[in-house]
Amino acid sequence: MQKQFEKSQYVCYGANGICLIEDICPMPGMDGHALFYVLKPIADRNSVYYIPTDNESLVSKLRVPLTREEIDATIDSVKDASVHWIDDRSTRHEQCRAALRECDMRQVLLIVGMLYLQKQKLSEENKRLSTTDESLLRDAEKLTENKFSFVLGLNAGEIGPYIRRRLGLE
């Protein structure tokens, strides 16, 4: 049985980031008595997600947001982790996309580090990341900003400097 969430609670909904459970109600216009979580993403107030409360697969993507202490511990856990470029493009993209889908923030931070270091290396050679790698980097940064800024009370643009300070890179 999945954990039950409550109206007005903030949750993480997979890679969609932090959402407010605006309501728990039947879907308008649908027959039956199934209830839905009505989620409003904080990063995109024009979007709404309707998650059936009895759909274990979708409800399993709902999680309580990390605390400030958990965010700091996650950042600290990557401080001494070695980040190696994955040469095989297919393997690299598969591993990056899997980490983003799972929203494992430690893995997401490692991905950002790996792609950022490669971007710096290529820049020194007057080269650029591939379009796909650049897209992965943007997606990972966006997910990190969304999940961390809400809890830390920072703007999205302040998350990168916060992480770098925490890692002793600034």
Residues 160, 138: one domain? yes
Residues 72, 90: one domain? yes
Asked if the structure places residue 2 within a domain, the reply is no
Residues 20, 54: one domain? yes
CA distance 147 to 154: 11
Residues 59, 73: one domain? no
**Tell me, what DSSP letter sits at residue 18?**
E
Residues 155, 139: one domain? yes
Question: Average pLDDT, stretch 32-38?
Answer: 84
Sheet with 35-41, strands from edge to edge, namely: 49-52, 35-41, 18-26, 10-13, 62-63
Q: Write down the residue that tokens 């839905």 correspond to.
A: 36
- In the chain, which ranges are continuous DSSP H helix? 56-59, 68-77, 89-102, 105-124, 131-152, 156-166
Q: Taking 90 as the threshold, does the pLDDT of residue 24 lie above it?
A: yes
Which residue range(s) make up the domain with 101?
68-166
pLDDT tens digits along 133-153: 999 999 999 999 989 999 999
Compute the mean pLDDT over every residue in the chain, rounded to the nearest whole number.
Answer: 90
CA distance 58 to 52: 8
Residues 72, 144: one domain? yes
Asked if the structure places residue 55 within a domain, the reply is yes
The whole-number pLDDT of residue 44 equals 84
Residue with more model confidence, 44 or 47: 47
Band of the pLDDT at 1, cuts 50, 70, 90? very low
Of the candidates 60, 61, 55, 75, the one whose C-alpha atom is nearest the C-alpha of residue 17 is 61
Q: pLDDT exceeding 90 applies to what percent of the chain? A: 65
Q: Is the pTM of this model over 0.85?
A: no
CA distance 103 to 13: 9
Asked if the structure places residue 122 within a domain, the reply is yes
Residues 122, 73: one domain? yes
The whole-number pLDDT of residue 84 equals 86
pLDDT tens digits along 75-122: 999 988 877 899 999 999 999 999 888 888 999 999 998 998 899 999
**Tell me, what DSSP letter sits at residue 107?**
H
* Nearby residues of 6 by Cβ (< 8 Å), 6 or more positions away: 21, 24
Q: Taking 80 as the threshold, does the pLDDT of residue 169 lie above it?
A: no
Total domains in the chain come to 2
3-class state of residue 36 by DSSP: strand
Residues 127, 143: one domain? yes
Residues 158, 133: one domain? yes
The whole-number pLDDT of residue 31 equals 67
Highest-confidence range of 33-37, 118-122, 165-169, by mean pLDDT? 118-122
